[in-house]
Structure 1
């Protein structure tokens, strides 16, 4: 009996030792995981701070040379070293605005069709086709826009717009000028095609999260499909839809290669959206390798800083809107 008790005690002590080792191993793994995740989070902040510091430091010569005039003048002359950012800022905002005006209703409409109206046999092919659009490189969009889309607009769409809005007092200045094919409108249309998959995919995914019981109850009381979408689906998923729209807007603001091919790269502001223009990213991509002198290089870096500020402002407004919506939903 004594031997049995001794053996039982030895086994118990070995099990206790194994448990202690396991607990120590788990504690070490948790500490290591905590350290790695915290390091990754801090690294993001450090990288962001480094980018901001590099942009501010690089743009100081331009701001010291031109001051606030850099923001509201459109002169861009590397020979005389006179630079202004107004034309690229205007082009960036206009092309993104045109893209969102077109892409938001079309993208949400496609998402509604896929989730509410599409026959099952077509849902998967259309969904895959939309997702494939997001995987096409931007330079392919640019080449296609320059050699296929721009000539089509020059020969058909732009002459029709000029003839249609010519007699209307305000719109005739917006759609004025010869049909070049390339220009702000063309760049906006290309951006609309590029951001469409992001808005559609995110909207479709959040629409599918709506509980079926809510839609079935709405149909049960006699609501039409439009009424279900308007009063049930969209209010339930508005936070996700706005997030997808802001993601597409961020892509449109920073797009470079596709816009560079089709916008015309003219540093001037025109009332007509058919006329050539430029954007911040297109100006940097076209001229940074050819920039000679500190002021020229600093002006391009200052454009990058302005684009960073615009993007940060847009994302901040988006976060504020989402927070307001979440608070309203909580009430």
Structure 2
């Protein structure tokens, strides 16, 4: 009798449970919520693009292609163009990313590979704190503190590598001494400030990817006699290639659209020039911020058209970055 009950109980316990092929309710809710968020982002981005395109129609209808080839911005003469504005935007962004990239890469590698474990949390917090500082604070710091000091570096670059068009400064040979005002309010100074602003964002992305490098491959490289730098060169950097590209492009997108800090430093000038050390430049974001308050209907349309160009340019850069990240997927170079 007891054995029969035991066998019956054992049969109940050993009975295989029914496995449902359908997705659990919680997973379906989560997938639906994530899908709705993704669709909402696309709708918002599309709405912004359509709004800017609609508002740009009057300007493009009146000015046509001259809007993209005209250098001046003279509303009273109906001469509005963004070629010099785009050139200034690209100059500031290139200076910023050239300075920010090695800084971000070095900081992220130091935190993830060299810093003592007890200091990593503090360094990460400081990096996040730099990203949280308002742009107006960076702009004021750059205008009152950095600019009076960095003009000496600008002069040194002009004197020693002035044969490069980007560092050539047109000076007056009849003036005794050197003209300090030629080197102030330049794209170079604005780019340095923007580089300090975008560096924490790029470094945060790179550090997260470097921290996920496979431990087994790290230990395998060390077991084969590799040094710490050898592990970084053969394991960490190939694995984090996608993060390096993604963080750099994130910083570039931020540099293209930075407004307040650049507006506080540069001296607006619609000049189409190669040199980044000379005084005066203008960017799309600072043009909109500086002229929007006094603009009439047609000028507002022209400013929104400039915003549309910046929107499409940033979207193109982010799309290229996504393609590059997809082709250089993190860890692809370390797979056997």
| Pairwise TM-score range, normalised by the shorter structure | 0.7 to 0.9
Task: Indicate the residue corresponding to 2:91 in structure 1.
Answer: 94
The structure-2 alpha-carbon separation of the partners of 1:206 and 1:259, relative to structure 1 and needing over 3 Å to count, comes to same
Structure 2 partner of 1:110: 107
Partner of 2:294: 290
Cα deviation for residue 49 of structure 1 reads 2.3
Q: How far apart are the structure 1 equivalents of 2:275 and 2:133?
A: 30
Whether 1:69 aligns to 2:66 is yes
Contact 2:238 2:330 in 1 (8 A): no
Tell me, yes or no, if structure 1 residue 324 matches structure 2 residue 322.
no
Describe the SS at the equivalent of 1:291: coil
Residue 72 of structure 1: how far off its partner (Å): 2.0
1:272 aligns with 2:275: yes
Cα deviation, 1:277-330, whole Å, max 9, x if unaligned, reads 0110010000011112x3311110111000001011001101111222239938
- What's the counterpart of residue 263 of structure 2? 260
Task: Give ranges in structure 2 of 5+ residues lacking alignment.
Answer: 1-23, 172-178
CA contact (8 A) 2:88 2:281 kept: yes
Q: Is the 8 A contact 2:166 2:276 kept in 1?
A: no
Q: Is the 8 A contact 1:71 1:85 kept in 2?
A: yes
Matches within 5 A, 1:237-256: 237-256=240-259
- Contact 1:162/1:172 (8 A) holds in 2: no
The SS at the match of 1:315 is: helix
**Alpha-carbon shift at residue 37 of structure 1 (Å):** 5.1
Equivalence for 2:141:
144
Distance 2:253 2:166 in 1: 30
Which structure has more helix as a fraction of its residues? 1
Question: Structure 1 residues 133 and 272 mapped into 2: Cα distance closer, same or farther (>3 Å)?
Answer: same
Name the CA shift for 1:257/1:325 in 2 (closer, same or farther; >3 Å): same
The structure-2 alpha-carbon separation of the partners of 1:108 and 1:170, relative to structure 1 and needing over 3 Å to count, comes to closer
**TM-score if structure 1 supplies the norm length?**
0.83
Q: CA RMSD in A?
A: 2.4
Please state if 1:184 is matched with 2:181. no
Task: Determine which of 156, 170, 181 is the counterpart of 2:164.
Answer: 170
Indicate how the Cα distance of structure 1 residues 119 and 180 shifts in structure 2: closer, same or farther if over 3 A, else same: same
* 239-248 vs 138-147, greater mean Cα deviation: 239-248
| Contact 2:166/2:277 (8 A) holds in 1 | no
What is the DSSP-based 3-state SS (H/G/I as helix, E as strand, rest coil) of the residue aligned with 1:326? coil
Aligned in 2, Cα 1:223/1:138: closer, same or farther, shift over 3 Å? same
Select 1:84's aligned residue among 81, 84, 106.
81
Pick one of 218, 225, 233 that aligns with 2:236: 233
Q: Structure 1 residue 45: deviation in Å? A: 2.9
Between the aligned partners of 1:37 and 1:118, the Cα distance in structure 2 is: 36
Structure 1 unpaired stretches of 5+? 1-25
Q: Name the CA distance, whole Å, in 2 between partners of 1:206 and 1:188.
A: 26
- Conservation of the 8 A alpha-carbon contact between 1:162 and 1:176: no
- Looking at structure 2, the residues matched to 222 and 107 of structure 1 have their Cα atoms a distance apart, in angstroms, of 28
Worse-superposed segment, 29-38 or 120-129: 29-38
Match of residue 213 from structure 1: 216
Give the count of matched residue pairs.
301
- What residue in structure 1 maps to residue 3 of structure 2? none
